[in-house]
Structure 1
């Protein structure tokens, strides 16, 4: 039986509605939810003594339900005489204050200010001051804009409440679930400013919005999320790998509060169907949580076929782990697969707390923008110091582990452990530096890209006989390295503030020779498929200058990160054009590929084994619980 109109104009025609209710018969038709699901919301804004008008009542039981719950004055009107006749035939004498009248809602004959509450059209004239207009709607874009264009501008207070129960019932019935909203507009003569309120969370918290655009952003973000949730309930995303969405504070679309990655691995029968993993604060940049491959790995390790991985953002206030679970409960349930038998979702994390994030310093770089230095404490008690730029918050620019120093009679303090490498690619770059300099007194090493100084400081410890120079274009980096990451210049460790490209050109121009040039420079241009280094560092002129600046046994070690793998052949070709031999190593956790290039033929395999053994000996000597796995490096080594 097709009840849909042929055009939107039919919605306003009496003939259409007469035919509609003739075809439907006496079966009640509710647009967006039945009384049991909506009653909890309605009775917050309706009083028993209210004089209530329900416009476009149809054959809904809402009027009867309100009357039976104590509202003794309820008037129902509808343009269709067919449906009014149906409703009158069902009415009994026990409801004397319940009326059904055939009337066009846009041309009523009621007195001015007659009603104190109107549920769904000619409301400005009919409602008395302080009266409420209440409407249940899906708030499609055109409806939301009409509401916001009219009510706030005419002195009405506006509140929009999300009704969860109708959505939940639709999900339980296996139907499409769209967000249902209740709009409550309260009539005043005038207001000094617009009052815009939204209540969109299950915690019933009411948030104020500054502008109508804030309301629109909040509503549309919920609708988009609901569309994603509906898709996730219906189908697998195994072929897509994952879907991501950001969650905002209601009324504040400027800053993300939670980022959610929904990951699905190939189905494993023994796995549980679904869980939510909450990433501790400060650990969202780790490979396991910040990369697609890492998140797939996490899902496999936790033995869940689908995993919602939730990360928190700096600058936001969070409660306890249990409070965050409660806050996420609704959205996490909506991301569950359809076949989930229980609505009880398992929440996982790395410990019993959300982790601790302590912001130590905030500053601004002329080259890279605003940055934050923070200490992050793991549940194990280990503390890590990290540098982030706010324009790339999921990328750790520099990282160091802190160690506790206790002095007799003095308060213990934490300092940077300079004997540790926090980046896997720095380990292989250090192997390259060791290859070039270990057997040579007063060797010279240039590191392009000082960063937090961690690589330079480590090489200074590993190769005490060598002169280490860190080069960076940004003077702010030297300040950060010195004040926060333990970098300390001396006669064999120095920093040079200069454009790395100019520095290399000056070396070649002046005929200076160095034993190793390590290039670890990130690319600020996100539109290019190479994150490291900027393409200029691999240009023919610069590679020629690098080659000319190396000693006979010198090495060029460069960290290359390709988001676009199709660029790799051109990188290989450029290196082949300027160096006689080179090897490369792909880190297992990230996209980094480290190239070690030589002007001469070299026994890379044998020498790399010696370098790895020497570095492991260095770790043991300095009580560093770290090891460079020889087999791992050799298995991933590519000889070109």
Structure 2
């Protein structure tokens, strides 16, 4: 069954979406995570008293799940008349207060100015913005203008997106120029769920953009949260573009390592930073060797603090020798950096856990061992 577009251009057409929903029937196609993975972020920016407009709702269960936990004022619109009829029929008795309209989100003429306190977009912007032709950009700007028009002051545009570079740049260009505060948050839970559901274990970074409408902002506000819960305020939109691109590139590297071995190829290296810090806290080199009977599949090796410059740890040849002696087919060699404080061996392992896991080969469900030649850490 052809459920995904053959070309990016087809992705945004009305005909494609109508055919798509006819083929799917009642099986919801969840693009970027479902309510359980997204609720942690959504509940920060959407309250039960809000009047919510879900644009390009498709047959996503997201608005239904929100309704079921107390969000009663939800209006759904979609360009596909087929899906609106399906959703009206499916929800008429179980969710009687929910509204469904066949409508183009770039021309929401039936809605008055400042009607809604939240506009919720799950993948709709991505479906609209399939290329960078003048026609597509004009359509996207009409869409943004309509969102800005129907939102009240203090209202939020909450957009779940993969934030390809051309999309992020346009969002950053439009909303701050129209008195919106801008925030981008990475939604790791949605990525993890996608990876679990994909046969090859891969995923791409998922982001929640929150653009909050003000009557007048004294200065443009740009914020980003790509790791943990710490919100960083940055001075320039380019900083967000670079940060998001770095997360996407790192994810592509991890996807490559999940898909297959790099035995016989160059090692892969990544620097790990704390949010807002320029100086790396850890460097990880990942190496593979051809499978050897009796070897473990994967381990992390933490270089003893203070020995980072030794040949065995600081050179590609040395690291190959370390791999050969480690009794594992893949080794993630972790170097700690000078000028950083490390509370304890266990604290280091806890801090590294998610990053080390993301570099594992696909299908590895066993505990990942941490190897070293000593477990003393501190500050140097």
TM-score (ref. length: structure 1):
0.52
3-state SS of paired residue (1:113): coil
Change in 2 beyond 3 A, CA 1:14/1:304: closer
2:210 is matched with 184
Q: CA deviation at 1:155?
A: 2.3
Answer yes or no: is the 8 Å Cα contact 1:241–1:265 preserved in 2: no
Taking the TM superposition and a 5 Å limit, the aligned residue runs for 1:466-477 are: none
Change in 2 beyond 3 A, CA 1:13/1:297: closer
2:99 is matched with 99
1:113 is matched with 114
Change in 2 beyond 3 A, CA 1:351/1:164: same
Give the counterpart of 2:309 among 260, 285, 293: 285
Q: Deviations over 1:328-372 (max 9, x none)?
A: 222211100114122x32223333332441xxxxxxxxxxxxxxx
2:160 paired with 1:136:
yes
CA distance in 2, matches of 1:284, 1:153: 47
Taking the TM superposition and a 5 Å limit, the aligned residue runs for 1:18-417 are: 18-108=18-108, 109-120=110-121, 121=143, 122-173=146-197, 174-175=199-200, 176-201=202-227, 203-252=228-277, 254-342=278-366, 344-357=367-380
CA distance in 2, matches of 1:190, 1:128: 13
- Give the number of the structure with larger relative contact order, counting CA–CA contacts within 8 Å between residues 6 or more apart: 2
Comparing both structures, which one devotes a greater share of its residues to strand? Answer: 1
Answer yes or no: is the 8 Å Cα contact 2:32–2:194 preserved in 1: no
Change in 2 beyond 3 A, CA 1:39/1:133: same
Answer yes or no: is the 8 Å Cα contact 1:274–1:336 preserved in 2: yes
3-state SS of paired residue (2:182): strand
CA distance in 2, matches of 1:11, 1:340: 34
Change in 2 beyond 3 A, CA 1:214/1:320: farther
CA distance in 2, matches of 1:351, 1:280: 6
Answer yes or no: is the 8 Å Cα contact 1:209–1:251 preserved in 2: no
CA distance in 2, matches of 1:324, 1:190: 45
Taking the TM superposition and a 5 Å limit, the aligned residue runs for 1:508-523 are: none
Change in 2 beyond 3 A, CA 1:259/1:229: same
Answer yes or no: is the 8 Å Cα contact 1:54–1:77 preserved in 2: yes
Q: CA deviation at 1:98?
A: 0.9
Q: CA deviation at 1:138?
A: 0.9
3-state SS of paired residue (2:280): strand
Q: CA deviation at 1:165?
A: 2.0
Taking the TM superposition and a 5 Å limit, the aligned residue runs for 1:593-604 are: none
Q: Deviations over 1:76-130 (max 9, x none)?
A: 0001111101111111334232111111111111121111111124310111111
Q: CA deviation at 1:265?
A: 2.8
CA distance in 2, matches of 1:47, 1:59: 22
Q: CA deviation at 1:13?
A: 4.0
Answer yes or no: is the 8 Å Cα contact 2:186–2:226 preserved in 1: yes
Answer yes or no: is the 8 Å Cα contact 2:205–2:251 preserved in 1: yes
Change in 2 beyond 3 A, CA 1:146/1:246: same
3-state SS of paired residue (1:33): coil
2:133 is matched with none
CA distance in 1, matches of 2:319, 2:180: 48
Change in 2 beyond 3 A, CA 1:249/1:194: farther
CA distance in 1, matches of 2:346, 2:154: 40
Change in 2 beyond 3 A, CA 1:277/1:210: farther
- Unmatched 5+ stretches in structure 2: 122-142
CA distance in 2, matches of 1:15, 1:102: 14
Change in 2 beyond 3 A, CA 1:231/1:61: same
Counting matched residue pairs gives 354
Q: Deviations over 1:304-349 (max 9, x none)?
A: 221111223334455443333233222211100114122x322233
3-state SS of paired residue (1:160): strand
CA distance in 1, matches of 2:69, 2:119: 17
Q: Deviations over 1:269-319 (max 9, x none)?
A: 222221222224432111121011221222333322211112233344554
Q: Deviations over 1:372-411 (max 9, x none)?
A: xxxxxxxxxxxxxxxxxxxxxxxxxxxxxxxxxxxxxxxx
CA distance in 2, matches of 1:152, 1:324: 39
3-state SS of paired residue (2:279): strand
CA distance in 2, matches of 1:11, 1:265: 41
3-state SS of paired residue (1:255): coil
Answer yes or no: is the 8 Å Cα contact 2:184–2:210 preserved in 1: yes
Structure (1 or 2) with the larger CA radius of gyration: 1
Q: Deviations over 1:243-267 (max 9, x none)?
A: 1122334345x43332210022332
3-state SS of paired residue (1:256): coil
3-state SS of paired residue (1:337): coil
Q: CA RMSD in A?
A: 2.1
Answer yes or no: is the 8 Å Cα contact 2:299–2:368 preserved in 1: yes
Answer yes or no: is the 8 Å Cα contact 1:198–1:250 preserved in 2: no
CA distance in 1, matches of 2:65, 2:300: 39
1:511 is matched with none
2:129 is matched with none
